[in-house]
Amino acid sequence: MNILVTGGAGFIGSHFVKYMLSTYPGCLIVNYDFLTYAGNLETLREIEGNSKHIFVKGSINDSELLHETMRKHSIDIIVHFAAETHVDKSIQSSSRFTQTNLGGTQVLLDAALTFQVDRYIQISTDEVYGSLGDTGSFQETDSLLPNSPYSASKAGADLLARAYYKTYGLPVVITRCSNNYGSFQHPEKVIPLFITNALVKKQLPVYGSGKNVRDWIHVRDHCSAIDAVLHRGSLGETYNVGGSNERSNIELAELILYELGLPSSFIEFVADRPGHDYRYAIDSSKLINSLGWKPEISFTDGLKETITWYMQNEDWWKPLKPF
């Protein structure tokens, strides 16, 4: 396997790169990343010098460089993580999200078509489905009803990937995952934001009432799900990936403070995000039943491991965090 991983210096992408090199030592990983603020080569330090890992700095909007890279390394599989992902930033300025998440995906799909790859994995998000009430869970057959510029750009990319499967026969598979957590996640994201704020004795900002609910999955479980889809997923299909670990934001903040021995007075309620989706929950039964995948890491164990990692790696996250 010669795999082009876009966004492989980001949080989930870097974990996937390391997972694949560990699980399949014979595969070649070409890591294609533009190194925006969310990309960090320090996340890949442990595989430095591995001859099966090749890094290329480049934008997915750069068709010429993409073609050159795919030709040079005989790419037969693409796993597409590269994206702008922060919802708040998409609300402040949406153009970069459209250009990268939708326009960049189109450039990548064209490259995949030109080089006739064996498989193209589109990594997406449960946010494309919109918001749930107090009950129910998202299924792959649900309509796409995105509520933020970020989720709209990802929904558009999913539909474009589906169109390339239907129109051109490109071997596309789409995955839509719930919220990830784990080591090396940028401290702008909610779990590392709460952890790192607590570690420096800053308030934990909680939007609105704090009752918004997310389903959490450890990033290593997400990587194993992508592996299952890569090797056994049916072409043209979409697979939901979830951890079945629903937590409200206020519950999450309280749990992190408890683990660090701090009082709930460190919680600060702030003005709610515009268009803030109330609840996400994902039904992964298709992936579990058809491909034999299941999450292995409990939320309790995974969160404790993540808190410990941030406690022990201040040299990684402090330079990334505005104080």
pLDDT at residue 261 greater than cutoff 80: yes
Q: Is residue 97 part of a domain?
A: yes
Angle between helices 249-259 and 299-312 (to 10 degrees): 60
- Residue 143: what are its φ and ψ, rounded to 5°? -65, 155
Name the pLDDT band for 89 (thresholds 50, 70, 90): confident
Catalytic residue, candidates 33, 127, 215, 277? 127
Do residues 194 and 273 both lie within one domain?
Answer: yes
Name the pLDDT band for 232 (thresholds 50, 70, 90): very high
Name the pLDDT band for 123 (thresholds 50, 70, 90): very high
Percent of the chain with pLDDT over 70: 100
Q: Is residue 253 part of a domain?
A: yes
Q: Is residue 304 part of a domain?
A: yes
Structure tokens at 86: 């922060």
pLDDT at residue 322 greater than cutoff 90: no
Do residues 121 and 84 both lie within one domain?
Answer: yes
Do residues 265 and 310 both lie within one domain?
Answer: yes
DSSP string, 166-210: HHH---EEEEEE-EEE-TT--TTSHHHHHHHHHHTT--EEEETTS
pLDDT at residue 323 greater than cutoff 80: no
Q: Is residue 210 part of a domain?
A: yes
pLDDT at residue 275, as a whole number: 86
Which residue shows structure tokens 């082009």? Answer: 4
Q: Is residue 288 part of a domain?
A: no
For residue 42, indicate whether it is catalytic: no
pLDDT at residue 286 greater than cutoff 80: yes
CATH of the domain at 80: 3.40.50.720
**Average pLDDT of every residue of the chain:** 96
> How far is CA 76 from its chain centroid?
22
Do residues 228 and 263 both lie within one domain?
Answer: no
Percent of the chain with pLDDT over 90: 94
**C-alpha to C-alpha distance for 42 and 11, rounded to whole angstroms:** 11
Do residues 168 and 197 both lie within one domain?
Answer: no
Catalytic residue, candidates 33, 84, 126, 158? 126
Do residues 88 and 200 both lie within one domain?
Answer: no
**Closest by CA position to 155, among listed 121, 129, 120, 178:** 129
pLDDT at residue 219 greater than cutoff 80: yes
For residue 48, indicate whether it is catalytic: no
Do residues 65 and 165 both lie within one domain?
Answer: yes
Average pLDDT value for residue range 178-199:
97
For residue 150, indicate whether it is catalytic: yes
Encode pLDDT of 239-248 as tens digits: 999 999 999 9
pLDDT at residue 88 greater than cutoff 90: no
What total of structural domains would you count in the chain? 2
pLDDT at residue 285 greater than cutoff 90: yes
Catalytic residue, candidates 32, 150, 239, 310? 150
Do residues 200 and 260 both lie within one domain?
Answer: yes
Do residues 38 and 87 both lie within one domain?
Answer: yes
**C-alpha to C-alpha distance for 163 and 146, rounded to whole angstroms:** 18
